[in-house]
Structures are given as C-alpha cells and as structure tokens.
Amino acid sequence: MTFPSKQLTLDRDWRFAVASDPLPDALGRCTTESDLARLGLTLHEAIVPGNIELDMLRAGLVEGDPFFGMNIDGLRSVERSHVWYACRFNGAPKQNDARPVLVLEGVDCYAEVFLNGQPVGSAANMLIPHEFDLGGRLQEKNELMVHIRPSLIEAQNHSCGPGNVAQPSGYDSLRVRKAPHMYGWDIMPRALSAGLWRPVRVEWRPAQRIDQYFLTTRSATANWADEALWYRLENVDPLSARFEIEVEGTCGPSTFCKRDLVLGSSGRVGFGVDNPRLWWSRGRGEANLYAVTMRLLRDGEEIDRREFRHGIRTIELRSTEFMDEAGNGEFVFLVNGERVFILGTNWVPLDAYHSRDAERLDAAIALLDEAGCNMVRCWGGNVYESDRFFEMCDERGVLVWQDFAMACSLYPQDDEFARQIEIEARAIVRRLRNYASLALWCGDNECDEATVWTGSEKTINPNGNRLTREVLPRVLRDEDPSRAYLPSSPYIGPSAVGKGLGNLSEQHLWGPRRYYKTAFYKDSRGRFASEIGYHGSPSVESIKKFISPDKLWPIPNDEWLLHATSPIPGVNVSDYRVELMRSQIGDLFGCKPESLEEFARLSQCVQAEAKKFFIELFRSKKWAKTGIIWWNLVDGWPQFSDAVVDYYYDKKLAFDWIVRAQRPLHLVVREQEPGSKVHDVVACNDTRDDVALTYSLRSVSSGKIVFAGDAIAAADSVTLLSELARDAATQDMYAIEWESGLGSGRSHYLAGDPPFEPAMYLRWLDAALPGGR
C-alpha cells in the first residue's frame, strides 16, 4: 500500500549508548546526546532497524556470534540494560498545512521519545506502530532520541496472580507486550533484546486527509460482486465545500469506478462489479488483484489519495466445536463458496532478532512457494508480520491464519491488561484487514488448551477468558465484522468443555512424539490439524556452524541442549529433545547412532517419513479430514527442531518429500486397520477436474512390478486405484510412479513394522527415489 504524504526515512546516522540498571538519577533524565556524553556514556554507531545485541557486537562491546555455542546465554546481562538511540536530521520546509508525524513502526519495548530535548511521547508495546505528532516541534536541524528501558525491570512493576500461568521462563512476559517467544521457548532462545526493530520515519500529512479505509467484498460470484468501501476522514467539513470520495480499480479488462458525496467524517461507498476477476487460493485459480485508487476530492480537485490492491473474494470457516460420538463435526475453509483442502505450514519467528526478519523474508516465501502450501498459520508466540509478508501472500494466493500474539499462557484478566490488548488488536486489525489473503483471526495459541495441561481445567473455564471471548470479538465487530474468528487454537467452546482434546474438531497433534504411525496419529478424530510435527536434525555442515568442535559429539551436552532448544542452561525447561530424537531414530531403525554423521542422516530420514506420512494420512481421507498445517517451515535460529529447513536455509530431507506430497495429484498407500489383509492405493486429486493417469507400484526389494494401470482420478476427491497385500511381518519399500496431464510424479511406501535395518533402508531409498533423496 502506498501513501502520498511526503516522508523522510530515518535509516542512517544513528548512534547508541547503553548502561545497566539501576541508573543514576541524572542519567535517567538525559534527553539529548550531549546529556549522555556529559555523564560519561560513549555513543557508538548503530543500525536502524536493529537490535541492541547486534549493535553491541558491531561496536565490540560483546564478542562472538550470538548464535554460536553458548554465546546467547552470555548476553543475558543485556536484559538489565537501558539503551538510548539517537539521530540527527534536517527538518523539511513547512508543507502548506501539512502536519509532521513521527512514526516508529517497531520499538522494543518501553520507551520515552524526545525531539530536540523535549518529550513527544512514550511507547509500551513492541508489536504495534507508534505515532507522535511533531507539530510545532520540528526545527531546521533536529535531534531525535529514544530511551528504551529494560523490559526485565519493567516487568517487576506489574504483578500476576496464581491464576496466571506461563511457560517456565515466561512469567515476566504475561503483562509485557513483546513477542512471547523472546522469553525462551522450545523453538527459540531467550533473547529479550531491545531496539528500533522496524523503520523510523517522519511523515507530513495534509490537514484534510483519508485517515482509514477498508474495502471489503460482501458477496461474490463469477457474474457479480457486491463491494463496500468504508472510510474515515480527518478535518473534513461537508458544509465548507463539496467533498467526494472516488474509488476506481482495474484488474486486466475488469474495472470499476464509483464516486459518492461525503456527508460526514465517516461513510460507506457501495458498488457492484460485473464479471469480477475473483481472487482464489493457490490451486483453485488465479490470485487476481485489482489495482485500486481511492481519492478524496474537494470541489472536484484531489487533495488526498490511497493506492492499494484488492482481491474480490469471500472466505468462510464452517466449524463445530467438537466431534460427536458418531464422528459428525466440521472444520473447513471455503473460498468463493468452494471447499478448500488446506495444505499449510506454521510460520514462526524468522529470526530471534526481529530487525533481521525483513532480510530473511524473501527466501522463506520462496520455500513456501516451492512447498506448494495454500495456507500459512502465523503462530501467536511471534510478532505480527510485515505488510510485505501479506502482500506476497496476496500475490500467491496463500491464505493466512493470523493468531493474536498470545501463546500457551493464562493471561491477566483485569481492566488495564484488557485495555492494552484492545489497543493492540485495533492497531493490528486496521493494518491487516485489507489483505485478501487474511482468512482467519484467531484469539491465541493454545491458551484454551493451557487450562488442560496446567491442571486448571476444573477451576478455570477457558470460556471465561475475557480477552478472547469479549475484548477481541468486540474489536472485530467494530473493525472487521465479516472475517472468521476462532477464539483459540485449539478452541474449547462451551459445549466442548470436558469432552477431551481428542474430540475437538481442530487439533494440535503432538502427543507422545514417538513412532509416527501410532494410534495417536492414525486414529485422531479431529477434522483439521493446525499443528503437527516431528523432529529432524540439521545437516552436519549446518551443525558445525553453531556447535563448537569439541561439543559436536558425543551428545547430549550443554550446547546441544541450548540449541535443542532448552533456553535456560542448567534448568530443565526442554531438555528432553536430544534424547527424544535419538529415541525416534531407535523407533524406526532399532539402533543408537554412534556418530554425528549417522545421527544427522537417520534423524532426517525419520523426520521425512513422519512428515510425509502425516500429510498423506490427511490427504487420503479427504473431506473426512479437511486440512493439515504442519510444524514448521524454517528455523528462526540454529537448532535441532521440527523445521524442515534450518536457519541457514539448508533443506532437510523432509522438505523435498513434502514438496512431492503436496502436489495437486499424489498417489498414496492408505493404511487400513491392523486386522485388514490389504491397504488401499489411492489417488488424491486437489484440482477441480478429473485427471487421467497411468501408474505403477514396484517392490524395491524384488524389483518386480506389483501392479500397473490406467485410471481417472476424480476431481477434488480421493479415488481408489488398487489394493496392496498387507503383511506386517514382511518389510519392503514400494516405489510408486505415475504420469498425467499434470506431469510425472513419484513417491514411495515403507511397508512392514519397524525396526528397519538402516543400511537396507538407505539402499531401498536410493532405488525407489534415485537422485531424489
């Protein structure tokens, strides 16, 4: 989205100073660089957007890559640091009646802002932009200074009670509006950090202007779309002049244009579009986007405008709270009235230091493209992603499930905290609601479920959570009333309380995390899995980039535990993962790896088999199952995790297998109940059309073709092709190959019960997928 206001981006000539808490009174009153220098603080060059640890590293105040070895734990002292960021800039000449506004897109977190030694405002939320009116304060030459106080110390000013529960290292996070993962998670290190992590700029805004807008589709078919543009204006008096709103859009040959008289500071323009070019999710059609220009006219002359893109589409979530005893229940997304089977991934922090998110985004989106995902779930332990992220999802037809930034906790319920969440939610909803890809708002990640695994379910009903049952629905009723909302993921609604997590229609399937074909996975009752994962080691080459040579092997050791990720050394927060990964190898291969190379290789094989099996399990039960969002795409720091691409963008084996398993046409061996004598061989077709194909299934151990044939894979469904004799005592691998108008495909099926001898398995794999392992 573009804005016509004159802007000055403040992205150079920044300096920083740092001092530990507690501060002398005089230092706490500093408002300029000269104040800091007079009291003996040294100012160093800084980069904005940035993080304090990275600035300190460049200045030589700390040593070593924070992501290597135990280094990040050595930065815990920074948690007590006050940080000052300062820059000087020339003020622009007065722009007629334009009003200068300072915009901090991301300041982490508790900050006081000064211009030319005078206070202009404060901030207390990392997750939203902050704006400060600079009217009358700008000079020919200016000095901006931002004093950021340590979140660790600020948290001590707030109390929580025994009814508030968090991750072991995250209790201080409950009232602090930072990304929850920064306090330490099982996928991210503890890195509280501080800084100006998103861009800083000064905008000169016209006095009479478009303040807010929201273009939405009320209904749409191939023949007609009913559109509505809501707007809010600043300083517009309809009695002083003739004001009008004009909106026009173009997408190829399709156009629309409507002009309406402005009757007040807010209004709505309704219009229709003949034969609209609809926006579709990936795999269902083109992600058509209209180039839209919205103009504010005064007596026929343009005085302000907004330019943005708009997708004409409807998105609906049909869901029930739980599955009944007969297996009835629902959780399915519809785009333009059509059911869409979801193949998605969870989107976690791109980097522990969020100023680097922007530089990592393009590569991550390229992986999303390659994997063929049609949905991405933005996990609630993260920051809210940038506009560029949503623009790229719009362009690609990737649906976005957006959690609000609360995760795995029982948060405070008092008026003051509810007010903070409401302010944050309004800011985020207003920023993101115009994106076509945004399919769902979700209140939080696993906060309903937290009442179960914290043992609070008998005393705390999740439906009493005013944040997700009152505050967020009220915000969405005001700001984005037509978009689907889910109070939590997974959601335990009033009628689902006490029925068990296994009976919810939408589930997070973690469970024992051992052998991937256990009944926990195979017999799950839910329609939809929004989290399911399996661990896999990075490559040896990647491991050597973050583990010290003397700590590579044997395992476990302190560096492996820290990068596994158990974020507080010496405290068993998540120390289980290294041994769990060895157990997962043992479950499939019946052995204990004796070297780093063997561990990495076999761990990647186990992860790849598991992720492939999960996706095929859901696809082969299409419409009995309606989607899977696997955990997760790429790591936000170097670690041993469920991600299928490591922090250095080195793909694990599972990534390539997911690419194959998520193609529009895929052939699967669908396992039947243990007593069955056969397994089904089925074609999973996610396209709107029937697909003619030829196929074959070959025993890798014998080299013989078991069967081959021609078939029609029915549109948008699963088609039975043949049956494969089941013999749990006989181990084999089957190579599956097919040709169709969509191209060629191949996969494999690992038959029989484990353990499998590793050398034999690897030989089979080479024969089944030559060059593709």
DSSP labels for 566-630? --STTS-SSTTHHHHHHHHHHHHHS----SHHHHHHHHHHHHHHHHHHHHHHHHTTBTTB-EEEE
DSSP labels for 341-393?
-EEEEEE--S-SSGGGHHHHHHHHHHHHHHHT-SEEEE-TTSPPPPHHHHHHH
Which uninterrupted H or E stretch holds 742?
Answer: none
Cis peptide before 378 (omega within 30 of 0): no
| 501 SS3 class | helix
pLDDT at 95: 66
pLDDT at 5: 67
Phi/psi of residue 681, each to 5°?
-105, 120
The single-letter DSSP state of residue 73 is G
- Token pair listed for 635: 């790591």
Query: Taking phi first (over 0 means left), then psi (-120 to 50 degrees means alpha), and beta for anything else, what does residue 426 get?
Result: alpha
- List residues bridging with 195 in a β-sheet: 108
pLDDT at 163: 92
Q: 318 to each of 337, 339, 505, how far by Cα in Å? A: 11, 10, 11
Contact (Cβ atoms closer than 8 angstroms) between residue 646 and residue 635: yes
Which residue ranges of the chain lie beneath pLDDT 70?
Answer: 1-5, 92-95, 772-773
Helix, strand, coil % in the chain, rounded to nearest 5: 25, 35, 40
Cα–chain center distance at 701: 42
Burial of 299 (0-12, 13-18, 19+ CB in 10 A): exposed
User: Residue 544's CB: how many other CB atoms inside 10 A?
Assistant: 13
**Residue appearing with tokens 């861009």:** 199
Cis peptide before 221 (omega within 30 of 0): no
List the 331-335 sheet strands across, edge first. 315-319, 331-335, 338-340
Cα–chain center distance at 9: 27
Which uninterrupted H or E stretch holds 152?
Answer: helix 151-154
Closest CA to 498 of 447, 445, 460: 460
pLDDT at 770: 84
pLDDT at 458: 82
Contact (Cβ atoms closer than 8 angstroms) between residue 374 and residue 279: no
Rounded Cα distance, 399 and 403, in Å? 13
Rounded Cα distance, 254 and 248, in Å? 11
Q: Which residues contact 450 (CB under 8 A, 6 or more apart)?
A: 165, 408, 409, 410, 456
Rounded Cα distance, 582 and 572, in Å? 18
Which uninterrupted H or E stretch holds 475?
Answer: helix 472-479
Sign of the torsion angle spanned by Cα atoms 20, 22, 27, 29: positive
Rounded Cα distance, 157 and 174, in Å? 12
